[in-house]
Structure 1
Amino acid sequence: MTADHLLPLLALMGAASYFQTVTGFGLGMIVMGATSGLDLAPVATVATLVSLVTLANSAVALPGKLHHIDWRAVGAATLGILPSVVIGVLILDYLSSAAAGILQWLLGAVVLYGGVSAALRPAPLPRRSGNRSFFVSGIAGGLLSGMFGVSGPPLIFQFYRQPLSLVEIRCALILVFTATSVTRTLFSAWQGQLSADIWIQAALAVPVVALTTMAARRFPPPLSAAATRRIAFGVLVAIGGYLMLPGLVELVARVT
Structure 2
Amino acid sequence: MTIEQLLPFLLIVAFGTYVQTVTGFALGMIVLGCVAQLGLASVTFTSVIISLLMLANGPIALRGNLQHLDHKAMLWSLTGLFPALVAGVLLLNYLSSDFTQMLQWLLGATIITGGLFIMLKPEPLPQRSSHRSFAIAGAAAGIFGGLFSIAGPPLVYQLYRQPLSLQTIRLSLLAMFLVMNIIRLLVLGVQGLLTLEMLWTGLICIPVVAAFTLIGKRYPPPFSDTTMRRLAFALLIIIGISLVISA
Contact 1:119 1:233 (8 Å CA) reproduced: yes
Corresponding position of 1:43: 43
Task: Provide the rounded CA distance (Å) in 1 between the counterparts of 2:207 and 2:90.
Answer: 36
Q: Which moved more, 1:122-131 or 1:81-90?
A: 81-90
Give 1:198 shift: 2.4
Partner of 1:209: 209
Give the aligned partner of residue 254 of structure 1: none
Identical pairs, percent: 41
Report the Cα distance in structure 1 between the residues aligned to 2:119 and 2:19, rounded to whole angstroms. Answer: 18
Counterpart of 2:151 in structure 1 is 151
Unaligned runs of 5+ in 1: 251-256
Q: Does 1:130 align with 2:130?
A: yes
Structure 2 residue runs of 5 or longer lacking an equivalent are none
| Conserved 8 A contact 1:153-1:236 | no
Aligned to 2:70: 70
Question: One-letter code of the match for 1:155?
Answer: L
Tell me the SS of whatever aligns to 1:222. Answer: coil
Aligned 1:17-36 pairs, distance under 5 A: 17-36=17-36
Distance 1:86-1:187 versus aligned 2 partners, 3 A rule: closer
Aligned residue number for residue 192 of structure 1: 192
**2:208 pairs with 1:218:** no
For the Cα contact (< 8 Å) 1:160–1:229, is it kept in 2?
no
Q: Aligned Cα RMSD in Å?
A: 3.3
Distance 1:164 1:236, change over 3 A: farther
SS of aligned partner of 2:55: helix
Q: Which residue of 2 aligns with 1:9?
A: 9
Q: Does 1:167 align with 2:173?
A: no
TM-superposed CA distance for 1:68, in Å, is 0.6
Deviations 1:64-104 (A, max 9, x none): 1111100110111111111123345677869x97xx79x96
TM-score (norm 1): 0.78
**What is the CA deviation profile of residues 33-80 of structure 1, one whole-angstrom value per residue up to 9, with x for unaligned ones?**
111111112322222111111110001100111111001101111111
Distance in 2 (CA, whole Å) between partners of 1:235 and 1:73 is 29
For residues 179-221 of structure 1, what are the alpha-carbon distances to aligned partners after superposition, in whole Å with 9 as ceiling and x for unaligned? 1111111122222333332232222110100000000000111
Q: Which has the larger radius of gyration?
A: 1
Contact 2:29–2:236 (CA<8 Å) still a contact in 1?
no
Please tell me the residue identity of whatever aligns with 1:176.
M
More displaced stretch, 85-94 vs 12-21: 85-94
Contact in 1 for aligned 2:23/2:225 (Cα 8 Å): no
The answer as to whether partners of 1:156 and 1:232 remain within 8 angstroms in 2 is no
For 1:59 and 1:26, the matched residues in 2 are separated by 17
- Where 2:127 maps in the other structure, the secondary structure is coil
- The 3 A distance-change label for structure 1 pair 224 and 175 is same
How many residues in Structure 1 have an aligned counterpart in Structure 2?
240
TM alignment of 1:224-243, pairs within 5 A: 224=224, 226-227=226-227, 230=230, 241=241
CA distance in 1, matches of 2:30, 2:82: 22
Alpha-carbon separation, structure 1, partners of 2:147 and 2:204: 30
Mark the CA change 1:149 to 1:120 in structure 2 (over 3 Å): closer, same or farther: closer
Q: Is the 8 A contact 1:16 1:30 kept in 2?
A: yes
* CA distance, structure 2, for counterparts of residue 35 and residue 133 of structure 1: 33
Change (3 A) 1:228 1:64: same
Closer/same/farther in 2, CA of residues 197 and 230 from structure 1, 3 Å limit: closer
TM-score if structure 2 supplies the norm length?
0.81
Amino acid aligned to 1:196: L
Alpha-carbon deviations, 1:235-256, whole Å to 9, x = none? 786687578x35xx78xxxxxx
Q: Is the CA contact 2:10–2:205 (under 8 Å) kept in the aligned structure 1?
A: yes
Residue 165 and residue 5 in structure 1: after superposition, are their counterparts in 2 closer, same or farther (change >3 A)? Answer: same
